[in-house]
Structure 1
């Protein structure tokens, strides 16, 4: 990543990269979402790396039409939610006029496919007819995007993009504490297998670390992450 870049919304403002992956949490002044790890800063401006480096247009493999970067979120009756995580859009976001899809810059950067050590493959999908393994919710009429394991149809795992963000935002990435959070989300009447919990924890770590530009999980977990999208 470049050490200095121009602010997407303020061309006269230069942002400087601060690359400490373990730095304190912050609120991005671009997308207005919580952030951790490396960030670009200048005075009161603090941006996720993917917000600071956001391109004017994006061709996403799961979205019809070219997506355009919008720097201001619609408000009032025109307010929208991110189609991937279903959180409110409060700042920078990508919008497709063709399909009406809106994505946070971070959600737009989610890897299309992830292969874990041992060969388990998770693909990002916009729709699945199954409950999330983590929270057990179907989300009613609106269903956030999922990662779905593809290897064994009889033992598939499903994980909301929404759940990945919420589990990571809840605290540190200690494996035991993350497994406890996963079990709490599943509910008292559901007992997740340790194997399933461990796999989901690895997924949460990988997606988050890839987004902030930290290669550690790729090196430690033997992961191949394929981001099949082209920036324009």
Structure 2
């Protein structure tokens, strides 16, 4: 799909926004969430927007909410604090809202692919988990991705908690203390997956190793999707950051 290389946007009318690619996370001036990969950027004002925010459709539908029609808003509707029903995080900027049901979605969450390719196998977006998340051990907390083999589950909210805040700390100077936490907060999942396979018989070590490889690719793919660019290139870049 081809996209315009330069656009005008109503929240930044003074200058054109140019389509660019970056491997450094940025803060989107539209939804106030982190981003990476393709962005629309003002070269004069250092104004950044996710591609999905800059080119947001006025109305979208998600299969999880069959009776809902989500309308795009430049600001959360009403005075009350809004919460994204996909990731459970506060809505501070652009949002998709269903007026009849009151559901809200960040633009990047609203555009999460139903299927992600992590380089090893497909990951499927789920509304509810039937087995525990490999990070928090729970089943609730909004949307999740599940591996094709059904042995690996991770909440979208857990990915945000573990990575986006740390990236904000490093690149956006939100909280310097989080920089020191980054390496210990990355969800390698090796211990968790090892415990899950502890009861397996011969060949168990091979299964553990395979699942850990799946987990690493899955986390990279999910993070890149949450940050607005669910492409294999950006997933590889994210994996590179995480392995440092």
- TM-score by length of structure 1 reads 0.72
Closer, same or farther: CA 208–181 of 1 in aligned 2, 3 Å: closer
Cα distance in 2 for partners of 1:44, 1:125 equals 36
Q: SS of the residue aligned with 2:96? A: strand
Cα distance in 2 for partners of 1:88, 1:209 equals 20
1:216 corresponds, among 233, 239, 242, to 233
Structure 2 residue runs of 5 or longer lacking an equivalent are 171-181, 198-207, 238-244
Runs of 4+ in 1 over 6 A off after TM superposition: 177-180, 184-187, 217-220
Cα distance in 2 for partners of 1:196, 1:184 equals 9
Paired position in structure 1 for 2:203: none
Tell me, yes or no, if the aligned pair for 2:74 and 2:94 is still in contact at 8 Å: yes
Aligned length: 205
**Aligned counterparts, 1:41-120, within 5 A:** 41-42=41-42, 43-64=45-66, 65-74=68-77, 76=79, 78-116=80-118, 120=121
Closer, same or farther: CA 202–185 of 1 in aligned 2, 3 Å: closer
Give the superposition deviation at 1:13: 4.9
Q: State whether structure 2 residue 145 is matched by structure 1 residue 147.
A: yes
Give the superposition deviation at 1:6: 2.5
Paired position in structure 2 for 1:161: 156
Paired position in structure 1 for 2:187: 182
**Aligned counterparts, 1:26-37, within 5 A:** 26-37=26-37
Greater fraction of residues in helix? 2
Cα distance in 2 for partners of 1:116, 1:35 equals 19
Closer, same or farther: CA 75–190 of 1 in aligned 2, 3 Å: farther
Structure 1 residue runs of 5 or longer lacking an equivalent are 221-232
Q: SS of the residue aligned with 1:38? A: strand
Paired position in structure 1 for 2:40: 40
Give the superposition deviation at 1:124: 1.0
Cα distance in 1 for partners of 2:183, 2:215 equals 9
Q: Which range moves more in the overlay, 209-218 or 45-54?
A: 209-218
**Aligned counterparts, 1:12-27, within 5 A:** 13-20=15-22, 22-23=23-24, 25-27=25-27
Tell me, yes or no, if the aligned pair for 1:32 and 1:91 is still in contact at 8 Å: yes
Paired position in structure 2 for 1:127: 128
Tell me, yes or no, if the aligned pair for 1:38 and 1:48 is still in contact at 8 Å: yes
Give the superposition deviation at 1:126: 1.2
Larger radius of gyration: 2
CA deviation vs aligned residue, 1:139-176 (integer Å, no higher than 9, x gap)? 5xxx2111123435xxx21110112333442359xxxx
